[in-house]
Amino acid sequence: MKRSTLLLLALGLLLTGGAGAQQGARINDIPRLANGKPNFSGVWQALTTANWNVLTHGASAGPPEYGTLLATPPGYGIVEGDAIPYLPAAAEQQRRNYENRFKEDPELKCYMPGVPRANYLPYPLQIFHSDGHLLIAYQFAGAARIVNLDAPQPSAIDSWLGISNARWDGDTLVVEVSGFNGMAWLDRAGNHSSAALKVVERYTLAGPDAIDYSATLEDAQTFSRPWTMRFRLVRNPNPQEHLLEFKCVPFTEQLLYGDLYKPPPK
């Protein structure tokens, strides 16, 4: 065998061994709970423009009186295949939502963001994780989810964030979410679902400071088939960081109840 061939084989073995060592180091480097499962505790945030549109989109203007303040920044999509398989009536509803987005988006009114949108809002979230409990707190609107790590529980009532039942698949936390009220949007572009929505989330630590997140959405009233989005959550590097309050309800009172407002007597 030629010397050059031997050198190439040796180099290949070194690279393969290095990649395997890096993979092993990544698995061993993640924080873990006392029971050995990955520990997702921390303050995290998605670095994506998906809250404006989960699909790839260019920049677009908002209401002219607000200049760039309500403009949509360009960004890449997070949806596999970069398309949502809407049923015809649902596609028409999305078009109407988009036309009325500056009046009808639930985020505008400080309503709960729903799942999965809560995870890619342009605000941080904080996860509190122990052997038997997991809570996800969101800065926007003071929203929070208790993720059930025990036997699955049915939803007592439909709600914005539904009910979350979790199980482990190796080092990946799989969360099945159902029991939605069907009022949440997926983004500011008017992408939407119904109360029949079921979401399967997957949380996987990609090292100590990143979570690979995916959500598969199934809704026979809205979509022709299940579809999946993927993105990464990044840990805030400041160990003292915690969520600050963003209780936005007082900021929406004039918008929601302005017609009921009575000016004080002069």
CATH code of the domain covering residue 114 = 2.40.128.20
Q: Which of 2, 15, 40, 189 is nearest to 107 (CA)?
A: 189
Q: What is the pTM of this model?
A: 0.87
163 in a domain, yes or no?
yes
87 in a domain, yes or no?
yes
Q: Which of 206, 203, 201, 155 is nearest to 182 (CA)?
A: 155
125 in a domain, yes or no?
yes
| Tokens of residue 117, six digits | 């949108």
7 in a domain, yes or no?
no
Stated as kind and residue range, the H or E segment containing 220 is none
Quote the radius of gyration of the chain (alpha carbons, Å).
Answer: 22
26: CB partners within 8 A, 6+ apart? 206, 207
pLDDT at 257: 85
Number of domains within the chain = 1
254 in a domain, yes or no?
yes
Are 194 and 169 in contact by the 8 Å Cβ rule? The answer is no
237 in a domain, yes or no?
yes
Are 141 and 249 in contact by the 8 Å Cβ rule? The answer is yes
24 in a domain, yes or no?
no
Domain of residue 220, residue span? 29-54+70-258
Q: How far apart are CA 189 and CA 102, in angstroms?
A: 10
Low-confidence ranges of the chain (pLDDT < 70): 1-28
pLDDT at 34: 95
pLDDT tens column, 116-152: 999 999 999 999 999 999 999 999 999 999 999 999 9
Q: What share of the chain is helix, strand, coil (3-state, %, to 5)?
A: 25, 30, 45
Q: What is residue 259's three-state secondary structure?
A: helix
90 in a domain, yes or no?
yes
Q: Which of 265, 262, 258, 261 is nearest to 103 (CA)?
A: 258
pLDDT at 260: 79
pLDDT at 8: 52
